[in-house]
Copies of this chain bind each other. A is one copy, B any other.
Amino acid sequence: MSSQQRQACVNLQWSLALMDGLIAGGMRRLVISPGSRSTPLVLAAQRRPELELTAILDERSAAFFALGLARASDRPVGILCTSGSAPAHWLPAVIEASESEIPLILLSADRPPELRGWGANQTVDQNRLFGSYVREFHDPGPAEDAPAALKMMRALGLRAASMSLATPTGPVHLNLPFREPLVPDADCPGFALAEPETTAGPEAQQGPARRPCATQTLAGRGAPTPTDLPLGAGKGLICCGPGAWSAASADALWALAARLDVPVLCDPLSGLRFGPAGPGRITRYDGFLRNARIAAELRPDWVIRFGRAPVSKTLLGWLADIPTLLVDPGGRWSDPNHDVRWQLHSDAQTFCRSLLATDLGSAAAAAAHADWAPRWTRLEGQVDRLASQHLDEAPWCEAHIISDLLELLPADEGLLCANSMPIRQVDTWSGGRDKGLQVFGNRGASGIDGQTSTLAGLNAGGIPTTALLGDLSFLHDLSGLHLLRALERPCIVINNGGGRIFDYLPQHGLSGFEQLWRTPMAIALKRLAEPFGLEHRLAADRDALRKVMQEVLTTSGPGPSGCVIEVIVDAEVSRAAHRQFWHRLASSRLD
């Protein structure tokens, strides 16, 4: 083998060792954007049947696709690209992954050190490109094939995948320089392909278990013990913000809520709003806390918060100045109101079980506040009824859309909600339901970005997921549209002519409002769907949308794939209906 060809072969061995480590750490899928410098890594990935590869041209879309994939599969997902500005396109999704704790493995190919900083082509400083948004950064230098070097590389792969799942879960970046040549000769060991094609077998979908449950203990140096906390006295409540709950964790939570006899306020992204629940599940707080009298009367003495800050601004504002215990396994200090008095580094299940095993004297507390938890449940029912009444009386708007989706979406499927309006409207209008529903939202950074790619990733990750987007979030991620072709679930786009969240803010009515804030785009969605091979369905009233949804959802198998349902909503009518509902809430005789 020539020394040139030896280099290419070393590159491959090095890359194979890395892939073996990543696979051992649980990675099963790798999303690739095309490039030359990344070739040794692509070759290695092709040669590992455990890995399923997906090629996506636009690196930004690839990263959001991987984000959805990782969220749905609860496994680390790799993304791979060439050198230069290519990995820079990952940044928005990396920020979201960091904030919402999604395990991504970022594999950026690079030029070797002797070319960096010397004006070589397609060479920029990729060192720590993602700053503090990644949990770890490594650059192991150019490939070597000494046994110790390959051992290190395998260990690095295992470490990267494992650290992406550590607490707090999040992205890990490996920057991987390669010297040319990049393609080895046929006699390079490991270069021969057993199978000519790159698709992974079905076993790749199963593989080793997903991430183990976190098993941290409650006690830590200096941490308060449960009896140090004021949980046995006064009126309390549990607030569950965005963050996934396992079934076992949820059981422990409902048991604790029953024991403490407190309401549990469930954010739409908490995973607790839909599916079986113990007593005390509250979903209508964004409604009844708009009634000033009720909001004042319900003021609690303490709050236990799980997960990130809730979507509802009404709730978050109401929680201000209430002593709060924050439970977070990763020690993230999520406290925009600055009310946290105690923070426990614990996963939710361990915390709930520890508290259940402790004598909190809650019987006395419950007796002292006999109408506390029941009152919350009563208000939940009253707002349920007001919402039903609104659905009967109001002109068609998002309230009906969300109510109908909650009725029609099959058990345990997914619903991706864009930021700005959809997630807020789901928060307001969903209520609870007994059938499970996994509500997803890129709520870490709450960007307008990456929605169609994330939707494709969620579906590719095995959870049939419908999206509810606005017209602008749909149009922000055009690169994801061609990925929707393969989906069995529709992408619902509420087309109300631009960024309507601004209609609810003080910017509404400013000079230049239409051009500089609401920014509607003159692109017809029907015509846009066509070149991407997507079916376009229009729904301009309640019956039409219900009918389309029923058709789309009942077609099993790879049916009418890639469907965009454009829902025409009159934003002015909708705004008036929302205001009317809030007025009704504010003025009604809730008790």
Give the interface of A toward B (CB within 8 A): 32, 34, 36, 39, 42-43, 46, 53, 55, 57-58, 60, 84-86, 88-89, 91-92, 94-96, 98-99, 114-115, 117-125, 128-129, 131-133, 181-183, 193, 196-198, 308-309, 332-336, 338, 419, 443-449, 472, 475-476, 478-479, 481-482, 499, 501-502, 505-507, 510-512, 515-519, 521-524, 527-528, 530-533
Contact = CB atoms under 8 A, between A and B. Distances in A.
Contacts of A117: 333
Contacts of A36: 501-502, 505, 507, 517
Contacts of A481: 478
B89 A85 contact: no
27 contacts: A32-B516, A42-B512, A46-B516, A53-B516, A55-B516, A57-B519, A58-B476, A84-B445, A88-B95, A89-B449, A99-B124, A118-B334, A118-B335, A118-B338, A119-B308, A121-B309, A122-B447, A124-B444, A197-B511, A198-B511, A198-B512, A478-B479, A478-B481, A482-B523, A522-B533, A527-B530, A527-B531
A130 to B, nearest CB: 9
Contact of A507 (B98, B182, B446, B478): B182
A510 B191 CA distance: 11
Contacts of A531: 523-524, 527-528, 530-531
A131 B128 CA distance: 9
B57 A475 contact: yes
A143 B428 CA distance: 34
Contacts of A334: 118-119
A444 B515 CA distance: 33
A447 B181 contact: no
Given A121-B336, A445-B84, A507-B183, A523 B532 contact: yes
Interface of A is mostly: loop
Chain A to chain B: the 8 pairs with minimum beta-carbon distance, closest first: A119-B334, A120-B336, A85-B447, A527-B531, A478-B478, A183-B506, A85-B445, A88-B91
A513 B181 CA distance: 17
Contacts of A336: 115, 118-121, 123
A96 B92 contact: no
Contacts of A58: 475-476, 478
Contacts of A197: 511-512
A530 B505 CA distance: 35
Nearest to A117: B333
A517 B91 contact: no
A209 B491 CA distance: 50
A92 B99 contact: no
A58 B125 CA distance: 25
A578 to B, nearest CB: 18
A107 to B, nearest CB: 14
A89 B92 contact: yes
A171 to B, nearest CB: 13
